[in-house]
Structure 1
Amino acid sequence: MKKLIVAQHLEENQRELIQQAAPQWEIITGKEPEHWKSHLNDAEIIAGWKTSMEEAALEKGTALRWIQTWSAGVDSMPLDQLDSNGILLTSANGVHAYPISETIFAMMLGLTRKIHTYIRNQDQKEWAHAGLKLEIHGKTIGIIGVGAIGKETAKIAKAFGMNVLGVRHSGKDSEYVDQMFSTEQLHEVLSRCDYVVNTVPLTPDTRGMFGKKEFESMKDSAFLINIGRGETVQEHELIEALNAKEIAGAGLDVFETEPLEKDSPLWEMENVILTPHTAGSTEFYNKRVIEDIFIPNLKEYISGNPPPVNLVDYRKGY
């Protein structure tokens, strides 16, 4: 009997849905290693990959043929080895579209309407106007990386009457985006935006893509929101841009080093909102991964076809 590991805590109905899709397979579930460690050599599918699985699951002669990650990003995966071993890889890209787009607008609205400042004032019992004047309606938002998260962000932006500019590698048009640009046109887009939202994955091409030149291209009244990957932004140059008032502020969920170091100036900055890489957290996470991604992929895989949802292209790194 073929084996399938899901290294997550599942509700009984979720396990039953997987078993119905793969009735002839043995399903092993559980987040702790004791549930799946002894099955790594002969499991053909692993969903919910853990770094600690790597040595046993990828050694020569194992049965592994497909990995379904429980995260959208795959930059921490051993991509070269998976590629050389002929192992298929699918991500959880898209499962975060609702919670992350909500976080993006929470940060945008918080910075615009000075909610972060008023919370600090509340702690000090200080009654102060704090110079509130900005509003979000009718402004221009630039979404750098228009995938599932970017598209949902663009959709919400239209409810605020915003002008939506998008940047994607292909430059291909997308619904709710008024103008789409290629990555070569990034600086042109940055110069027009009141809000710059970075949603790109971490690849060799995107590492450090936001640095001194990019911040200089932005308006001094613009806000940066980063919910992609911390390493896509050169953090010391962001700090310099914030201190020099080259940009108005930032909402940051991801950082070059996580947890964010205690001595980082970002903690103390009045024009920065920080969250601890939690933008994708949602009560519906497992449900969406299983029902929208894993089971459709599983059905196709068992039928002899490559899993169609979020199949990673090793050449691109995502």
Structure 2
Amino acid sequence: MKQIVCLHSLTPEQIRQIEQAAPGFELIIKNKKELTPEQVQAAEIIIGWSKTIASHALQEDSQLKWVQTWSAGVDTLPLERLRDRGILLTNSSGVHAIPISESIFAMMLSFSRQMHIAVRHQLQKKWESDLKVPGQSTLGEINGKTLVIVGVGEIGRETARLAQAFGMKVIGVRRSDRPEPNVDRMYTMESLHEALGQADYIVNVLPLTDETHHMFDAAAWNAAQKGACFINAGRGPTVDTASLIDALRSGQISGAGLDVFEQEPLPADNPLWEMDQVIITPHVAGSNDRYTERVVDIFTENVKAYVAGQKPPRNLVDYERMY
């Protein structure tokens, strides 16, 4: 019998959901340490990925034909080897739209209302109504401010929808300047710096590719409107960390909400830890209690098509674009 190997825990209902969508397949659920090399090599479909199983999954006699990742990003996978083997690759794009957009707004509202400073005062039992930090004004509001979203995919669309509800002007930046609901104006990547010059808040939700590596560098910060806040919920290496620290120190960027970093965990001696104008979360913006449910829904739709001899209709990765 053909085999599907899933590296993540599933509920009995989710197991039934997959089994009903994939008749003729045996579903094996084990973590990477429990799987034998023989089970990895025999799998036609793998849900999830791990460097631990890569050598066995990509052997010449492996049965692997399709990988459904547990994450939206695929930059940590051996893309060239998967492509050369003709293996289908689908990601979990769309799973993160709600939790990440809500995390983005938690950070933006914190900067606007200086909640992060109030919490630090609370820990010191300090009653202080002046919450401003160097380079920032006192309490503000996001209504009427301009938000620039760089990378308008599923997460960017949901972020734009929420921004419109808060009365913000929304500018989008992506490969295509095709209009998008809830985005007032769309720029292509070639016009990134022009867009940044209009931003009160900059949200980065770009994937990591050769093109986007260190896209946010000294030139980008200098092009930004002075005093803009920057939020990174995309990929850490899209940002040149050293130049961001310089921009924060100079006040060119007044605050940074960072969920992802070039090096994770963020080293204890990194200056970002000590900056009052920085909010740090440990790569958890996309985490929530409905994650597995949403991944299984994506996989179920895809596997129904796969069983019928069709390509998976959702989130098929373009190896040339790397997303």
Same fold (TM over 0.5): yes
Q: Show the counterpart of 2:22.
A: 22
1:71-220 pair list within 5 angstroms: 71-129=71-129, 130-131=131-132, 132-220=138-226
Distance, in Å, in 1 between the alignment partners of 2:139 and 2:119 is 17
Question: Aligned-pair distance for 1:34?
Answer: 1.4
Maintained 8 Å contact 2:32/2:53 = no
* Structure 1 residues not aligned, in runs of 5+: none
Maintained 8 Å contact 2:217/2:239 = yes
Specify the code of the residue in structure 1 equivalent to 2:83: D
Distance, in Å, in 2 between the alignment partners of 1:313 and 1:277 is 25
1:50-61 pair list within 5 angstroms: 50-61=50-61
Specify the code of the residue in structure 1 equivalent to 2:304: K
Distance, in Å, in 2 between the alignment partners of 1:117 and 1:227 is 21
Specify the code of the residue in structure 1 equivalent to 2:8: Q
Q: Show the counterpart of 1:229.
A: 235
Q: Show the counterpart of 2:305.
A: 300
Deviations 1:73-122 (A, max 9, x none): 00001000111000000000110000000000000001111001001100
Find out whether 1:263 has 2:269 as its counterpart: yes
3-state secondary structure, aligned to 1:5: strand
Residue among 264, 279, 288 paired with 2:285? 279
Q: Show the counterpart of 2:315.
A: 310
Distance, in Å, in 2 between the alignment partners of 1:196 and 1:277 is 18
Question: Aligned-pair distance for 1:35?
Answer: 4.3
Maintained 8 Å contact 2:148/2:171 = yes
3-state secondary structure, aligned to 1:316: coil
Maintained 8 Å contact 2:114/2:139 = no
Larger deviation, residues 21-30 vs 254-263: 21-30
Distance, in Å, in 1 between the alignment partners of 2:269 and 2:152 is 33
Maintained 8 Å contact 2:75/2:322 = yes
Question: Aligned-pair distance for 1:17?
Answer: 0.4
Deviations 1:115-164 (A, max 9, x none): 01001100111111224321111110000000000000000001111100
3-state secondary structure, aligned to 1:196: strand
Identity of aligned residues (%): 49
Distance, in Å, in 1 between the alignment partners of 2:181 and 2:151 is 14
| TM-score normalized with structure 2 length | 0.97
Specify the code of the residue in structure 2 equivalent to 1:20: Q
3-state secondary structure, aligned to 1:44: strand
Aligned CA-pair RMSD: 0.9
Moved over 4 A (4+): none
Maintained 8 Å contact 2:69/2:90 = yes
Larger deviation, residues 127-136 vs 17-26: 127-136
* Structure 2 residues not aligned, in runs of 5+: 133-137
